[in-house]
Structure 1
Amino acid sequence: MNPRRKKRLTLVLALVVGLGATVGLLLYALNQNMDLFYTPTELVQGKPDGTKPQVGQRLRIGGMVVEGSVVRDPQSLQVSFDVADVGPAVTIKYDGILPDLFREGQGIVAQGVLVDSRTIEAHEVLAKHDEEYMPPEVAEAMQKSHAPLQYSDEQLQGSTQQ
C-alpha cells in the first residue's frame, strides 16, 4: 500500500470513528432528556407492555383534576391536587403559579419527577382548554369567510334557465 492510499484510509477511518462517536453521544443525550407520557391508570398499573416508571424518573402525566382535591398552602405557592382518568387518582404537588385555565374538572398535563408510586413532584403544569375553544380573531375570520352568499333575483333566474 502506497503512502497516499494509507493516508486516505486513515482519514476515512478517523471520519467514521468521529461520526460514530457523535451519533452515540447524541443518542445518549436524547435518552437522558426524554420524558415519557403516562395517564394516571398507566402510572399505577403500568403500560400495556408491562413497563412502569421508576421512583425518581422524569415523566409527564395527563388527566382531569378531581373535583374537591385542590389543596393550597395559605403561606406559600404550594398546591396539591389529584388527577384521574378512568381509573385510580394520582397526587400532584406543585410549587408555583398555576395557569389561568387551571380549575377542578379541567384537563391538565404536568411534568415532573415520580416521588412514590402515586405522587409526582411537578415543575410545570399546563392546563388544557376544551376542544370547542376558538380565539376571537379566528372566530371573526371564519364568520367573514363563511358569510352566506347573497344573490339577486336576476342571478337566480339566470341560473335556473341554464
Structure 2
Amino acid sequence: MKARHQRLALVATSVLLLGLAAWLVLSAFKENLVFFYTPTQVAEGEAPAAGLFRIGGMVEKGSVRRHPDGLTVSFSVTDMHRTIPVHYRGALPDLFKEGKGVVAQGRLDGGRFAAAEVLAKHDENYMPPEAAYALAQQETRAKGGTCCRKSVTMR
C-alpha cells in the first residue's frame, strides 16, 4: 500500500471514529434531557404524556398534606393560572414551604404529577429563571396583556 493510500485510510478512519464519538455523546445527551413546564402548559397538553419532565411554580397555600407514613406528601403546584396536584414520596428539602417556589421532576400519573425529585429555591430572592419567566407570562396574560421580556428576576 502506498503512503498516500495509508494517509487516506488513516484520515477516513479518524473521521469515522470522530463521527461515532459525536453520535454517542449526542444520544446520551438526548436521553438525559429533561424539559421544564408550567402547570398551564401541562394542563394544555404541551408536556409529554409518558416521559420524564420538570414542573415548576409555587406551592399552593393550604395544599400540603403529609400522609401517616411520614414520607409521602401531596401538594399542589400553581403558576397563578392553573394548578397541578403533585404526589411525592421521600424527604422534602428544608426550604420547601407553602407559597414558595418549587421545581419537581417526574411524570404524569392519571391526572396528577408523580414526582421523583423535589427541589426548593435556595434563598428568599431566587427562583429558576424559567419559573420566573413563566409566572410573569401568566400574570401578564391574566391582566390581558402580552409578555415580551425573557429575563425576569423575582424578588
Q: Structure 1 residue 82: deviation in Å?
A: 0.5
1:78 and 2:72 matched: yes
**Alignment of structure 1 residues 16-55 onto 2, 5 Å:** 16-46=15-45, 52-55=46-49
Provide the C-alpha distance between the structure 2 equivalents of 1:120 and 1:11, rounded to a whole number of angstroms.
52
1:136: which partner in 2? Answer: none
Counterparts of 1:79 and 1:69, CA distance in 2: 10
TM-score (ref. length: structure 1): 0.71
1:15, distance to aligned residue in structure 2 (A): 0.5
| Equivalent position of 2:116 in the other structure | 123
RMSD, aligned CA: 1.6
Q: Tell me, in whole angstroms, the C-alpha distance in 1 between the residues paired with 2:48 and 2:76.
A: 20
Contiguous gaps of at least 5 residues in structure 1: 47-51, 133-162
> Within 5 Å, which residues of 2 pair with 1:13-162?
13-46=12-45, 52-116=46-110, 118-128=111-121, 129-131=123-125
- What do residues 67-114 of structure 1 show as CA deviations (whole Å, max 9, x unaligned)? 111111112401111000121101111111111111111111111122
TM-score, normalisation: structure 2: 0.74
Q: Is the 8 A contact 1:94 1:122 kept in 2?
A: yes
Q: What percentage of aligned pairs have identical amino acids?
A: 45
Cα distance in structure 1, aligned partners of 2:124 and 2:56 = 14
Query: 1:78 touches 1:95 (CA, 8 Å); kept in 2?
Result: yes
**Which stretches of structure 1, 4 residues or longer, exceed 3 Å deviation after superposition?**
none
How far apart, in 2, do the equivalents of 1:124 and 1:35 lie?
A: 12
- Higher-Rg structure is 1
Gaps of 5+ in 2: 127-155
> Given that residues 71 and 79 in structure 1 are in contact (C-alpha distance below 8 angstroms), is that contact kept between their aligned partners in structure 2?
yes
Distance across 1 between alignment mates of 2:8 and 2:104: 52
